[in-house]
């Protein structure tokens, strides 16, 4: 079974037409991969569907806007993958 | 259908919150200046307006699901297919359903048919936010009454 990061990277590559080999765990979805907020909705849709969760994008955006979190915490892919794992675990708890 | 005011739908025929579906009707006017240009001697409803009609239909469904607390705005249109012409005077039946409810966004599937014949369909993405001001909410509530939006679906706070 592929890792969460691998699944997320594949989703991003297919959704945004970005070469898969340019996507690394350290990639920042916005700053490095150039994904804008509208394109990220397609990614969120695919992630929600693949993992059976609902990425709390509004909450994350609010936290960033309020200075309580950085975009790196949510949009660097290894961190995004960790958040997904947490959401999947919380769903199964 | 009041094309001048960009009001593309006339009445809600069915709105099922638990099934997350809506059906509306829209009467295409027999005469309108739009048809003078689109096209001279062969008037047909512009595809962009059919897409807007599907978006407005989807929007009312989302407003109902969000208990009239948030306003959806068009984000993306995908797989829009104009399968047949729509002519002046035709009565449109527009159906929409929710494909996905995300955080701050939603995706719907919508279709327009005339007399049971599918004329166009699309998958539409919306971003939604709390009503940005009381004016817009008041306007939408007034329109909701006009088109037969179930009043119990309008939250009062």
Q: Which of B70, B104, B108 to mutate to test binding with chain A, by most A CBs within 10 Å of its CB?
A: B104
What's the complex ipTM?
A: 0.88
Residue A75 has pLDDT above 70, yes or no: yes
To the nearest whole Å, the CA of A60 is away from the closest chain B CA by: 10
Taking CB atoms and an 8 Å cutoff, what residues of chain A touch B101?
54
CB contact under 8 A, B125 and A57: no
Q: Is A41 on the interface with B (CB under 8 A)?
A: yes
Q: How far is CA A20 from CA A40, A71, B24, B33, B119, in A?
A: 16, 22, 43, 50, 38
Please indicate if any CB of chain B lies within 8 Å of the CB of A54. yes
User: B104 vs A38: CB contact, 8 Å cut-off?
Assistant: no
* Model confidence pTM above 0.90: yes
Per-residue pLDDT tens listing for chain B (157 residues)? 999 899 999 999 999 999 999 999 999 999 999 999 999 999 999 999 999 999 999 999 999 999 999 999 999 999 999 999 999 999 999 999 999 999 999 999 999 999 999 999 999 999 999 999 999 999 999 999 999 998 776 655 4
Contact call for B102 and A56, based on CB within 8 A: no
The partner residue sitting opposite A38, judged by closest CB among B75, B100, B102, is: B75
Residue B61 to residues A10, A82, B52, B87, B108: CA-CA distances in angstroms?
32, 34, 14, 26, 9
Q: How far is it, in rounded angstroms, from Cα B54 to Cα B59?
A: 8
């Amino acid at each position: 079974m592929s890792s969460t990061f691998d699944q997320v990277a594949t989703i991003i590559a297919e959704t945004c037409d970005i070469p898969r080999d340019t996507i690394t765990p350290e990639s920042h979805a916005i700053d490095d991969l150039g994904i804008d907020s509208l394109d990220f909705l397609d990614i969120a849709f695919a992630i929600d569907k693949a993992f059976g969760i609902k990425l709390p994008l509004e909450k994350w955006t609010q936290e960033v806007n309020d200075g309580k979190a950085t975009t790196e915490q949510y949009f660097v892919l290894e961190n995004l993958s960790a958040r997904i794992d947490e959401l999947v675990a919380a769903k199964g708890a | 259908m009041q094309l001048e005011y960009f009001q593309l739908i006339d009445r809600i025929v069915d709105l099922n919150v638990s099934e997350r579906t809506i059906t509306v009707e829209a009467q295409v006017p027999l005469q309108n200046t739009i048809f003078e240009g689109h096209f001279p001697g062969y008037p047909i409803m512009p595809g962009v307006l059919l897409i807007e009609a599907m978006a407005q239909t989807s929007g009312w469904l989302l407003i109902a699901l969000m208990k009239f607390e948030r306003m959806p705005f068009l984000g993306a249109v995908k797989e829009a297919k104009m399968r047949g012409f729509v002519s002046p005077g035709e009565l449109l039946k527009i159906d929409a359903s929710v494909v996905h409810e995300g955080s701050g966004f939603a995706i719907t599937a919508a279709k327009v048919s005339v007399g049971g014949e599918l004329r166009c369909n699309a998958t539409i993405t919306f971003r939604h936010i709390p009503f940005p001001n009381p004016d817009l909410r008041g306007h939408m509530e007034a329109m909701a009454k006009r088109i037969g939006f179930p009043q119990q679906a309008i939250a009062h706070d």
